[in-house]
Amino acid sequence: MKKFEYADDQIGDKELMIAIPSVVIGVGVLSLPRSLAESTNVADGLFILFFGGLCVVFITWLVAKLAVQFPQESFFSYTTSVTSKPVAVIYTLLLSVYGLSMTAFETRVIAAVADQYLFNRTPFGIIALTFLLVVMYAVSGSRTGLFRLNMIFLPIIAFITLLVIIFNIGMFVPGNLFPVFTTDFSSQVSAFIESTNTFTGFGILLFYTSLVKSPRNVPKKAAAGMAFAVVLYIMIYVMCIGGFGNLATGNLLYPTVELAKDVQIPGGFLERFELLFFVIWIMAIFNTSIMAMDTAVFALNALFKKNRKMQLIFILSPLVYIVGMMPQNSNEIDALGTFMGVLGAAATISVTVLLFIFLKLRARKKQ
């Protein structure tokens, strides 16, 4: 009897386009309005988020432009051929650490949010372990199957987010957005770094572009996917500031969840909309976690070819859980998120610039 294959080893550029916002839209949506409101005055965070989003869309396009020059070739392989093997090993390890730290961060935050809003009698360590076990199960399966999960979940996530925004239009006060341009320069820089750290999922392009059947349109599709995530973040931030005001938003731990709690659906048939919102948002965090974890496994598979995928998953998962449980309060959780974002941005941008420089030098040498 012929063995049934769940999926092939390749994906389309549309699947990769959907994977970008699926990775970016995670726990950052829940807390980013607070972080920006703490650093900026009134609606100044909107302009910083918009400008940071434009920068990230360009960087996403740049990373994809690099990756498509090496079709069907792994990140470790083409980095070795362009630079050297030691450089390729260092960057592969850095990006795998980034993927693991992102998984740990997502696991820790979802445990904290679930403990606060859903399971206040269940230890958050048990919640985190349960979530991580499901992530392990998903990553252990077909890699292309993860992209199909993204295609299923993302439209649902976007629809629920739009419902939250639409049903909160009544509480939106335009006066809460003014006056503008009152934030000092140092605070603007801090807010800019905070906003760009949220969009560091573009690093997956370095690995997953090798799976795309026809990668010619990947840069354009990847930039479009990132632009979708930026627009969604901006809409949520504007609604939080317009609804709660800057001061209240800065003092709410998870403003987006509070926004969902204020939803009042006509007819009263669903009084606790935030429960539906949080259940749906688990999908978003799950998407981010499985892609981050799989990226780390994908990277390390190139270094340790003798180790099978399942062996790496069982080795790495306890490390992810330990790192995720290390933060003891919200400040330490934010510190873990900042470390994760800075590491991902620094490693991805630096290796992209480095490879472009080496490619340019190689082209001149040939001439």
pLDDT, tens digit only, all 367 positions of the chain: 333 334 457 888 899 999 999 999 888 888 889 989 888 888 888 899 999 999 999 999 999 999 999 988 889 999 999 988 999 999 999 999 999 999 999 999 888 888 887 787 888 889 999 999 999 999 998 888 899 999 999 999 999 889 888 888 888 888 888 888 888 888 888 888 888 888 888 999 999 999 998 888 999 999 999 999 999 999 999 999 998 988 889 888 888 888 888 776 665 555 677 778 888 888 899 999 999 999 999 999 888 877 688 889 999 999 999 999 998 888 888 888 888 888 989 999 999 999 999 988 887 777 7
* Residue 232 one-letter amino acid: L
Angle at 262 between CA 126 and CA 48, to 5 degrees: 85
The whole model's pTM is what? Answer: 0.90
Contact 83, 358 (CB under 8 A): yes
What does the alpha-carbon distance between residue 349 and residue 334 come to, in Å, rounded to a whole number? 22
What does the alpha-carbon distance between residue 350 and residue 239 come to, in Å, rounded to a whole number? 35
User: What is the pLDDT, as a whole number, of residue 268?
Assistant: 55
SS3 212: strand
Q: What is the CATH number of domain 13-351?
A: 1.20.1740.10
Token pair for residue 324? 């995720």
Query: Residue 98 belongs to what H/E stretch?
Result: helix 85-117
- Residues 6 or more apart in contact with residue 289 via CB below 8 angstroms: 26, 102, 103, 106, 107, 131, 135
Contact 212, 27 (CB under 8 A): no
Token pair for residue 133? 């076990």
Q: Which residue has the tokens 């020059």?
A: 69
Rg of the chain, C-alpha, whole Å: 21
* Residue 198 one-letter amino acid: T
